[in-house]
Chain A
Amino acid sequence: MALGSALRRLTLFDRYLVVIFALLVVVSFLFPFSKQPGARVVVDADHRTVYTAPLNENRTFEVSGPLGDTRLTIENGAVRVLSSPCPQKICIGMGEAHQAGDLLACVPNRIVIRVEGQAEGESYDLLSR
């Protein structure tokens, strides 16, 4: 009753406003404004960003550090280190990074690889390894 009475008191302008607001709410849930799914790979060498690429495009590339070139590959929505001039190859052993916030690093070669942007179905905020 109260709702019916309230709706009757709405002017045409009010009704347009209601429709626009309702659409905005729906759209805000359907489309993430802030971060796009299909995140990006960002590579820093010695504190400078030297390479970025979308995570959904397969490619292989190299980044130079003080020890030489670290070879990276993006494949099937994940990035990993293929080869590295560092002695222990821990960066290769770290495996893949695929969700937002995932990090890989080659400490001796001063290279940090991170995934930015929000992918669907993230299962954790931080990884303990």
Chain B
Amino acid sequence: MFSRPWALILLVLLVALVFWQRFSTEKSQLSRTALLMGTLVEIQANGDDRELLETAVTDAIAEMSRLEQLFSTHIPQSEINRLSDAGTLQVSIETAELLTLGQQIARSSQGAFDMCLGNLKRLWDIESQAPKTPSEKELREALRGIGPESLQIEGRQVTKQTESLRIDLGGIAKGYAVDRAVEILRAAGVLSAAVNAGGDIRLLGYRQGQPWRIGIQHPRQNGEVIATLMLQDRAVVTSGDYERYFEVEGTRYHHLFDPQTGRPARGCQSVTVVAADAASADALATAAFVLGPQKGLALLEQMPEVEGFLIAADGSRLTTSGLEDFLEWH
């Protein structure tokens, strides 16, 4: 072999390189889906050790399933439902951590994000076959006692300040579970992965040496992408009025409620937030949506390591100052 001319040796190496590049990525990609937390969860992991990927992804899905048992309002004995029923409860570390983060964002957004809208969501019952538009009196009653200070959190001891309050972690729990899944993957030695829970996405490392390309759903053109973000090691969450809604006489009633009025917020079509973790991105996307374009943009600008863009109700686009380098409009 080594007596051959260098050109031939070089050619052999070139061919080997080309084939290695074309086939090696195929072997090392693993993708799994699961129906969890009321949505479709997909985990993609990339790496050379298939067995390690299998174990890590299985463990990550198991962790998300465990967290669903803590946070879901659809599971009667979940920790959140027990807290809503009891008034005071010594909760798990995870629940305490999540509630503490949620309360910080509730305060930063002056109550635009609220974890105590359980009664309001039950009243609208937007996921049922017969959702209804409540009266003003019903709305006032459902909003009684809500606000950033409605929960007192001391370590793992959580107390509701108003007995009738019901906690609902929609708008933060999914993001938190995504974060935990990514931590499981990272701890197992996975260097490249993406966890996507119904559009709440967190990225670990790069995808095949390049930033991940995250398409953002167009809020008014089904199946179309309005923008692409090029990111790594970041979380991306989009909240929009097109996700869950019903219509009565041409008016769209969606699931992103303004805690001040108890009615769907009207200022935006969608909000996309990029942050270091998915729980914060999740809650901030809801808060910015509720605040509307100008105040929502101001909220995102004031948060450290947070970027995002808002599509206002009239279709205009507002972008935070640090996003331009990663954003491509379509």
Chain A residues near B (Cβ < 8 Å): 3, 6-7, 9-10, 14, 17-18, 21-22, 24-25, 28, 33-34, 44, 78, 80, 87-88, 90, 93, 95-96, 98, 101, 103, 105, 107, 110, 112, 114, 123-129
B residues less than 8 Å from A112 (CB atoms): 33, 35, 40
Bound-complex Cα distance A93 to B219 (A): 11
Assess whether B66 is interfacial by the CB under 8 Å rule: no
Interface residues on B, range: 35 or more
Q: Is the interface of A mostly helix, strand, loop or mixed?
A: mixed
Interface centre among A9, A14, A126 (most CB of B within 10 A): A126
Instruction: Name the one of A14, A21, A28, A96 contacting B222, with C-beta atoms under 8 angstroms.
Output: A96
CB closest chain-B residue, reference A29: B18
Q: How far is the CA of A60 from the CA of B239 in the complex (A)?
A: 31
Given contacts A25-B14, A34-B26, A128-B199, contact A107 B35 (CB under 8 A): yes
**B330 contacts across to A, CB distance below 8 A:** 123
Q: Which residue of A lies closest to B12 (CB)?
A: A21
Which chain B residue shows the least CB distance to A98? B223
Which 7 residue pairs of A and B lie closest in terms of their CB atoms, listed nearest first?
Answer: A124-B215, A129-B217, A95-B222, A105-B40, A95-B223, A6-B5, A96-B223
Contact between B244 and A90, CB atoms less than 8 A apart: yes
By beta carbon, the residue of chain B nearest A99 is B215
Closest residue of chain B to A34 (Cβ to Cβ) is B26
B272 interfacial contact with A, CB 8 Å: yes
Q: Mark B1-44, 1 if CB is under 8 A from A, else 0.
A: 00011111001101100110011001000010101001110101
Given contacts A25-B14, A107-B40, contact A124 B225 (CB under 8 A): yes
Q: Determine the distance from Cα of A124 to Cα of B4 in the docked complex, in whole angstroms.
A: 45
CB-contact partner of B4 in A14, A88, A107, A126, under 8 A: A14
B84 → chain A closest CB, angstroms: 23
